[in-house]
Amino acid sequence: MSETQVFKRAGNEAIIINKPTGTDFHLTARGSDWLWTVFCVNIFFAMILILLMFRKPVDDRFLYYLAIAPCLFMTIAYYTIASDLGWVAIKAKYNHNRTSTQTTHLGMRQIFYSRYCGWFLAMPFPIIQASILGKTPLWQMFFNIVLTEFFVVCMLLAALVHTTYKWGYFTFSVFCSYIVMVSIITTTKNLCVKRGNDVFTVFKIYVSIIFFFWGIYPISFGLSEGGNVLVVDSEMIFYGILDLCFLCFAPTIFIPLANYIGLDKLGYNFHPEDKESGAGAGPARSPASPKSPKSPKSPKSPKTPKSGAASPKLKKSKKSKK
């Protein structure tokens, strides 16, 4: 076997093995190569974070869990997309993009629902990280997480609908993300202000990063699945950069930012010995001394008459003399 044949066999054969049959706008080998790159970056960050996590005590791994999870979820998602799996063919609503093999006026576009599965699992974690900076109440965090999931579900429905009704789901999706942003920049922001300037500074930096990239997702959707302006390879480059920044780099950056503040100041102290020896405990009381046994009572002595008072016999004798 020649060297050329060896290199050919070692190349990316995902598009050859898993052919995009029945589509006009589909992934190519170059797009698949880029997706494998994103896959490698995600799994690299996940492995590094896992190794760093095991060097920490069990009670100090809380921040690492929130960064490892989205990296692992997107690793699986991009493995599926790069393999040209997890997609359906949907007729494009607009004919902004045409191919030489297109047989109908509105061609069939490859829609990867596997990406939305990864988003459904990974997108809540940057929102959770932003929420814990102010120790947002659990019910408020749950509300933010649910609306983030609604954002993903509505985006998926918009991508799968052929008619103009897709923009209705798109509007619902953007509205859900807007509510989450308002919730964080009001409720969580006020809680961070109460915790000090350092917490509020970290909050401003991190929230600005994640909201900037999250706000670009609707633009990417409108240019790709929604408006059929970008080809599938360009769509993958656009989404790949966003996913790396929003679901890989940002959760990783959160770890040093939160460690700069400290879990104790954030209100997440998982060391039980520190709680027992807290500053609020009062001084230790000295043990009570045992009570001494009571001494037996001495018998009562007969009462002696007072010096100033006369006895009754003397009083009678005085009366008789009179």
Query: Which pLDDT does position 22 carry in this prediction?
Result: 85
Quote the pLDDT of residue 158: 96
Low-confidence ranges of the chain (pLDDT < 50): 6-7, 278-290, 307-309, 314, 316, 318-322
When divided into structural domains, the chain yields a total of 1
pLDDT at residue number 280: 46
Please, how many CA atoms are within 13 Å of residue 207, restricted to the half-sphere of its CB? 22
Q: How many CB atoms lie within 10 A of CB 242?
A: 16
pLDDT at 298: 54
Q: Residue 226 and residue 94: Cα distance in Å, rounded?
A: 8
Q: Is the pTM of this model over 0.85?
A: no
Q: Cβ contacts of residue 285 below 8 Å, gap of 6+?
A: none
Question: Other C-beta atoms within 10 Å of 38: how many?
Answer: 24
Report yes or no on 278 lying in a domain. no
Instruction: From 198, 174, 177, select the one nearest 264 (Cα to Cα).
Output: 198
Q: Which residues contact 43 (CB under 8 A, 6 or more apart)?
A: 71, 75
**In sequence order, which residues have a C-beta less than 8 Å from that of residue 216 and are 6 or more positions away?**
242
Give the domain CATH number at 105: 1.20.1070.10
In a domain, 307, yes or no: no
> Who's near 122: CB < 8 A, 6+ residues apart?
69, 70, 73, 74, 77, 247
Give residue 99's identity as a one-letter amino acid code: T
Residue 289 CB neighbours (<10 A): 6
Find out whether 134 and 199 touch, Cβ atoms under 8 Å.
yes
Furthest-apart CA atoms within the chain: distance in Å: 160
| Domain membership flag for residue 310 | no
The verdict on residue 164 lying in a domain is yes
Give me the pLDDT at residue 282, please.
Answer: 45
Per the structure, the complete domain to which residue 182 belongs is given by 3-269
Q: Does residue 56 sit within a domain?
A: yes
Residue 98 lies in a domain: yes
Domain for residue 286, yes or no? no
C-beta atoms surrounding 62 within 10 Å: 16
Give the sign of the dihedral formed by CA 173, CA 178, CA 179, CA 184. positive
Q: Would residue 52 count as lying in a domain?
A: yes
